[in-house]
Structure 1
Amino acid sequence: APAVITSFIILIAAIMVLFGVTLVDIANVAKKGYTRTRERQRQIHERRTERREERRREREESEEFERLGNRSQDEDYPDYTVSEPRLTRRSSDRIDIPLDKPGKKPRAKDAAEIAEEQQDQDIINIIRNANSGVVPDEELSASDVARRISDKKRSHKMSAGAKQPDPGTAEDEALDEYNTEDTFDLKGETRRVGAEVKQNQKAEQTQYVYPPTKLLEPAVDSESESAYMEMQNNATKLVETLNSFGVKANIVDICRGPSVTRYELQPAPGVKISKITNLSDDIALNLAANGVRIEAPIPGKAAVGIEVPNKVTSMVTLRELVETDEFRNHKSKLNCVLGRDISGEIITTDLAKMPHLLIAGTTGSGKSVCVNALLMSILFKATPDEVKLLLVDPKMVEFSKYKGIPHLLVPVVSDAKKAAGALNWAVSEMLQRYRVFSEYDCKGIDSFNELVDKNLAYIEEQKQKPDYDPEAEEQPCLEINGLKVPTEHMCRIVIAIDELADLMMAAPSEVEESICRLAQMARAAGMHLILATQRPTVNVITGLIKANIPSRIALKVSSQIDSRTILDTGGAEKLIGRGDLLYAPVGAPKPIRVQCCFTRDEEIDRVTAFLKKSHTAEYNKEIEDKIRKIAAEELNGSKGKDSGVTPGNAPEVDSMMEDAIKFVIESGQASTSMLQRRLKVGYARAGRMIDDMEQMGIVGPHQGSKPREVLITYNDWLERNNMLGSPEPDGEGEDTATDEDDPW
């Protein structure tokens, strides 16, 4: 037996050594179990105590009710309750005396009953004096008082068509004629009270109810023991890989994010950073990672960051970000959640400070998810009176879930030409706002809204004064430069475009001009742009657009050239996709790597359904008509301009232009000599066709001896040609613009 016990103890000790379990761990587990048991017993004891206390309160309440009932049965009510005979109720002008049985003496009255009877008699005397006009000492019976009141009622002659007075109020009307000392306009007071009630009901109906966060999916904790083992193994392999290439470095910190882990290395003295950056492919090979991004150095740290994708990823949900204090306590109504960075910190963006945002990435990289996160943040942060949305969706599927929400300024715009009209209207609205700011000496929308707040406070202060007349024609109001200050705040407008490339293909000149003007001047007017595209090429993100939109987000792209087009630096081609992005806010020295929060379609449906149920969309019909009219004018006026054909020069279009365009697009480059050899034409004719292609936006400008760059594909040219060459409906442009059946 001792040998068996000894063997058993040795076996347990071996298992503990093998799995790294110590007596301290066993004691901690036992302590946790004991703590849980004690906590469960304490909760059971508290529940039992609460039930006993509740039963005690119920007994006390029932005893109190029984005591009150017994006391009410013992009390005597001589005017209303007598055993026998049955009494009649006391009227307003007569006191009934109970008829007792023969030989039964009436009960003696106490002082309280005598005082009450005296008060009733005084009231009767007042009524007699008011209706008869005699001195109080004159003796009149109650029947005389009733007869005189009836005579006074019959003395009123009714005109033809008049309604019979209400019997319940006729006596009050007769008495009001004699009560001349304290009179008031009852009908006027009734109307005023009714107006206030209706106004309060309307205010309650229009009050915005923020959607609850329970409509969103809760966060899921996916951290596990394998994640820590993964970090330990990668750190060991990383140091061994660098040592094998003669690079001495130590790991000083490890920051694990939702999808990427950053290993911070501190190189030994004398080691160049370029040696580490040149080993990115070798590090990815040894770690078996899908791409490694090296940040050298890390801003604010004396270390080099090596970012390795996680094999065990964790999802970032919108709910866990919306419920944080960083989002709730922010004063700006355009504060939006974006995601978490590599260290797990929450990243929020303020559109009011950006002031515009460019989002680009390949298909499936998470571009639409990022835009949805920004729009959903606005719905949880701002009311429809504070922020209005103008959504442009050429694909007709991305923003369809937001149809009918109260934040929309107009229905979702899906037509490319109407989108150009919407941007043109935004430019005119921006100029109109600046004219208003100039009239009231305001620098921007914030100062204008502060002026409105001062005016509202001044009006409320004047209403509290005793000499205030609510029916006066001139109501109190602040004035600046001889103009009355408005009482309504000016809302901010967010213009979100899901696919900029399609708009640039349909109307490149109008769209680029409107976007550039808005990007340059719309910040102070409270208008902000969110541009998204899946084709980050130079003909979509032009130099003018990129220069006027300083804040940018780059998702997964296919090449370093596309990354430089978006961010002016590489790195986006090494992202892993699925919401992994580089965020370059205005003024930041380097982009920040962020895992964007994921928003499911079901979450968007629940939130928008809640808003549609509690509030109805109130579209601005005037703005809709303006956009339709501008779109029709742009379509009629710029058709020839976009296609290179105008009514005046239509006969001058070369008959071989279609063949020349097809050849240039297929070859991928354009030059005059190429067209000469291919089409067998002269130099002057080929040069004219090249110039026409440049005006159409098919080829780029002249680059010396190099061939011209081709900007579009042949399918793009066919789509553009079909769109611009579609037949126009009969009638004037205004009739087309105001067509009610025109889809958005």
Structure 2
Amino acid sequence: MLSEKIKPQVAGILMILVGIISFLSFFDKSGIAGRIFLDGFRFLIGKSIFLLPPLFLLGGISFLKKGRQKIYLPILLGIFLLTLGVSGIISTFQLLQIKDTVGGINQDQLVIEKEGGIIGYLITLPLEKFFGIEVTLIINLAVIVIGGLILIQFLLPEKEKITTEKEPSNSLIRKIFAPKFKIKEVSPQNEVSASFPEEKRKGPEIFTQPQISGIPLAKDLKIKTIEKNNKIAYQKPPLDLLEPDRGKPNSGDIKANSVIIKRTLQNFGILVEMSEINIGPTVTQYTLKPAEGIKLSRITALNNDLSLALAAHPIRIEAPIPGRPLVGIEVPNKIRAEVRLRNLISHQVFQNSPADLLLALGRDVAGSHVFADLARMPHLLVAGATGAGKTICLNNLILSLLYRNPPEILKFILVDPKRVEFPVYNQLPHLLTPVIFNVSQTVNALKWLIGEMERRFDVLSEAKARDIAAFNETREEKDQTMPYIVLIIDELADLMAARSREIEAGIVRIAQMARAVGIHLVVATQRPSVEVITGLIKANITSRITFQVASQVDSRTVLDMAGAEKLLGSGDMLYISSDISKPKRIQAAYTSEKEVRRVVNWIKKIEKPTEQTTEDLSESLEKTLTLTEETTESFFEGGDDPLFEEAKKVVIESKKASASLLQRRLRVGYARAARLIDMLEEKGIVGPGEGAKPREVYFGTEGGKE
């Protein structure tokens, strides 16, 4: 028995052979067999025999190319109808000619001449008796058209289809009433050329671009050396250190799902018109337009009914889609595509963006790339259940910043109470201090950041610069630039359980004021409760990323709305910021620990030791972190401070008193410097504060009062 793969090839060869024999028989080059073939088919179809050689050749070639058994019958049927129609046309014209010449129909003469063959004779005479000559001619033309259309459909090469999904049903009624829509599918490899918007906005900005072919893949891009602020050259890590995207999403039978959605809504009295379908890496979004007078709450209330009808759980209804008069129904894909950081970083928007702190977030439901600028957020809260993808997201954010900024421009302070997530970044030249593990050092790091924030405000005020970007543009030497500082806390809940008052106060103080001086917070927690994410923290951190959470209550705690409990996990997230009215669903990129180690090790080998400016920052922070808890507590509770005498000496020698002065001279935080000023006032060394006026210093020397 022949296999299914061989049968079409054998049939194709046989058809080509018949076509060649029939062609050679016209010239009497195929022997007795050719003459028998010629006489037999000439008797059957008359002059239509001249159609057989090209038709058999084309049919055989089609069998060899397509190799599908189901096209045998259509091709043979097309050949039969085409020759039948041509024979009928020839017989009809012959019949018309005899009728005009003789004045009637001589059936014997028609049979003897048989220019249309016996088949044409048997078809034409009955049709002529019932319909007449004119209608017989039209019927034969219709048969020719039908046969030709069938052959054209199966002989011409197929065009690329928009989607690879099969038809939901062969029913003619189903096809007629099936909704018409446009399908957009994500391509895991193609990149897009896009320009970064020049207009700056106050809030964080999201950049999403459609997939367009023709742009070089990530593997084709070369390593570039870029300049930051036109002064610091930085060789970016090569993209080969990261893995490319893998796989392609499979959304199932999208046309059948579209019919099911429309029918289910109609069963509940909701008339809708299906619109486009967006196939993303994780979910497929079916968009629809409700009829006039339909309340959106009626559609959102049918979440469980749609989930039952589609046999998919969980589904999410976005009503309406921001900026569009449509409702989106997001159905999980049967097979998810793996989004990797490499294709996001190689994207033209990321490569050409002037933003120093651009973050690669992932891909949205339409497969478009999504980026956001941390400098415009300016702080970020990340929440989600265990295993939902928080730590991988933090790694993506860190790598995004490392691929854009040298150590002179960007510094990290990493806090990892779990002690297992961030140690890989130790000895990275971008770190101000080794990864912090305990609560006391975290409190001291927050206090140091507050002091550094106050110092930077004084520097910007003296330089008459509005923010850190304007200040760095005016610096002539690279060692005079002020680096960005990003504090990343991997687990806030553990810190809040131990020292909630100090942690909350420090985070709120930094979140309120630190944006202009280039200090930013990224805080993550796996327990999004009101005890961890307090009202003050939420009010000051408006940009939030939420991965899958356990309940709707947790979702409302982070986003102030439900939705995160219906996410799918494994990097499926909702992103919201101050300039977005509703959360945006994004599939975060996946970065393995091996990729992180490769990038970190490469930077360690390439980058030189940091300049003196950042070394001073590191030494100051290290000194603050080594402060004992007793000293810190006694200082903030009002006890004697060991730096009191030194502060007194600084104030008397400089003949002025301010918290910022003590911060710079004593390398302490703002809170401690302010407490020292209060103690000096209590001792009668300095006068009380009078608004914007400087305090008076009552001692000209250490020994006597003026």
Which residue is equivalent to 1:343? 366
Q: What SS is found at the alignment partner of 2:320?
A: coil
Which residue is equivalent to 1:591? 583
When residues 383 and 419 of structure 1 are mapped into structure 2, their CA distance, relative to the original with a 3 A threshold, is same
Which residue is equivalent to 1:636? 630
Instruction: Quote how far apart the aligned CAs of 1:628 are.
Output: 5.4
1:287 corresponds to 2:310? yes
Instruction: Quote how far apart the aligned CAs of 1:450 are.
Output: 2.1
Structure 1 residue aligned with 2:495, among 495, 503, 507?
503
Which residue is equivalent to 1:419? 442
Distance between the aligned counterparts of 2:335 and 2:375, measured in 1? Answer: 36
Post-superposition CA distance 1:674-709 (Å, at most 9, x none): xxxxxxxxxxxxxxxxxxxxxxxxxxxxxxxxxxxx
Q: Which runs of no fewer than 5 residues in structure 1 stay unpaired?
A: 32-205, 457-485, 648-744
Structure 2 residue aligned with 1:530, among 522, 530, 534?
522
Structure 2 residue aligned with 1:363, among 370, 374, 386?
386
Q: What SS is found at the alignment partner of 2:580?
A: coil
Which residue is equivalent to 1:266? 289
Instruction: Quote how far apart the aligned CAs of 1:624 are.
Output: 5.4
Instruction: Quote how far apart the aligned CAs of 1:640 are.
Output: 9.8
Which residue is equivalent to 2:568? 576
Distance between the aligned counterparts of 1:330 and 1:377, measured in 2? Answer: 12
1:409 corresponds to 2:418? no
Structure 2 residue aligned with 1:564, among 539, 556, 562?
556
Q: Which moved more, 1:418-427 or 1:626-635?
A: 626-635
Structure 2 residue aligned with 1:251, among 274, 287, 297?
274
Distance between the aligned counterparts of 1:588 and 1:280, measured in 2? Answer: 24
Identity percentage over the alignment?
A: 43
Structure 1 residue aligned with 2:73, among 10, 14, 19?
14
1:232 corresponds to 2:264? no
Q: Which amino acid aligns with 1:488?
A: Q
When residues 511 and 28 of structure 1 are mapped into structure 2, their CA distance, relative to the original with a 3 A threshold, is same
When residues 30 and 549 of structure 1 are mapped into structure 2, their CA distance, relative to the original with a 3 A threshold, is closer
Post-superposition CA distance 1:411-463 (Å, at most 9, x none): 111122111111111111111101111122222212211221xx46xxxxxxx
CA contact (8 A) 1:494 1:529 kept: yes
Distance between the aligned counterparts of 2:265 and 2:634, measured in 1? Answer: 62
Distance between the aligned counterparts of 1:641 and 1:276, measured in 2? Answer: 59
Q: Which amino acid aligns with 2:458?
A: R
User: C-alpha root-mean-square deviation of aligned residues, in Å?
Assistant: 3.3
Q: Which amino acid aligns with 2:592?
A: R
Structure 1 residue aligned with 2:592, among 569, 593, 600?
600
Distance between the aligned counterparts of 1:410 and 1:618, measured in 2? Answer: 13
Instruction: Quote how far apart the aligned CAs of 1:557 are.
Output: 0.6
When residues 15 and 612 of structure 1 are mapped into structure 2, their CA distance, relative to the original with a 3 A threshold, is farther
CA contact (8 A) 2:447 2:506 kept: yes
Structure 2 matches for 1:258-657, cutoff 5 A?
Answer: 258-452=281-475, 455=476, 488-615=480-607, 618=610, 623=617, 626-627=620-621, 630-631=624-625, 633=627, 635-636=629-630
CA contact (8 A) 2:377 2:543 kept: yes
Which residue is equivalent to 2:141? none
Distance between the aligned counterparts of 2:369 and 2:291, measured in 1? Answer: 33
CA contact (8 A) 1:359 1:533 kept: yes
Distance between the aligned counterparts of 1:268 and 1:22, measured in 2? Answer: 42
Q: Which amino acid aligns with 1:602?
A: K
Instruction: Quote how far apart the aligned CAs of 1:14 are.
Output: 3.4
Distance between the aligned counterparts of 1:641 and 1:240, measured in 2? Answer: 70
When residues 269 and 527 of structure 1 are mapped into structure 2, their CA distance, relative to the original with a 3 A threshold, is same
Distance between the aligned counterparts of 2:384 and 2:552, measured in 1? Answer: 12
When residues 17 and 592 of structure 1 are mapped into structure 2, their CA distance, relative to the original with a 3 A threshold, is farther
Larger Rg: 1
Instruction: Quote how far apart the aligned CAs of 1:313 are.
Output: 1.2
Distance between the aligned counterparts of 2:541 and 2:334, measured in 1? Answer: 35
TM-score, normalization by structure 2: 0.57
Distance between the aligned counterparts of 1:392 and 1:571, measured in 2? Answer: 29
Instruction: Quote how far apart the aligned CAs of 1:623 are.
Output: 4.8
CA contact (8 A) 2:252 2:333 kept: no
TM-score, normalization by structure 1: 0.55
When residues 11 and 308 of structure 1 are mapped into structure 2, their CA distance, relative to the original with a 3 A threshold, is closer
Q: What SS is found at the alignment partner of 1:276?
A: helix
| Residues matched between the structures, number | 436
Post-superposition CA distance 1:17-39 (Å, at most 9, x none): 99x997446532699xxxxxxxx
Instruction: Quote how far apart the aligned CAs of 1:638 are.
Output: 6.8
CA contact (8 A) 2:417 2:439 kept: yes
Which residue is equivalent to 2:156? 27
Q: What SS is found at the alignment partner of 1:523?
A: helix
Post-superposition CA distance 1:169-190 (Å, at most 9, x none): xxxxxxxxxxxxxxxxxxxxxx
Instruction: Quote how far apart the aligned CAs of 1:361 are.
Output: 0.3
Q: Which amino acid aligns with 2:581?
A: P
Distance between the aligned counterparts of 2:561 and 2:159, measured in 1? Answer: 56
Q: Which runs of no fewer than 5 residues in structure 2 stay unpaired?
A: 1-17, 19-36, 41-51, 64-68, 78-148, 161-231, 640-706
Q: Which amino acid aligns with 1:493?
A: I
When residues 446 and 597 of structure 1 are mapped into structure 2, their CA distance, relative to the original with a 3 A threshold, is same
Post-superposition CA distance 1:627-646 (Å, at most 9, x none): 4554565622577999xx99
Structure 2 residue aligned with 1:211, among 205, 220, 237?
237
When residues 514 and 26 of structure 1 are mapped into structure 2, their CA distance, relative to the original with a 3 A threshold, is farther
Q: What SS is found at the alignment partner of 1:446?
A: helix
Q: Which amino acid aligns with 1:428?
A: G
CA contact (8 A) 1:421 1:628 kept: no
CA contact (8 A) 1:410 1:623 kept: no
Instruction: Quote how far apart the aligned CAs of 1:307 are.
Output: 1.0
Which residue is equivalent to 2:248? 222
CA contact (8 A) 1:335 1:351 kept: yes
When residues 242 and 22 of structure 1 are mapped into structure 2, their CA distance, relative to the original with a 3 A threshold, is farther
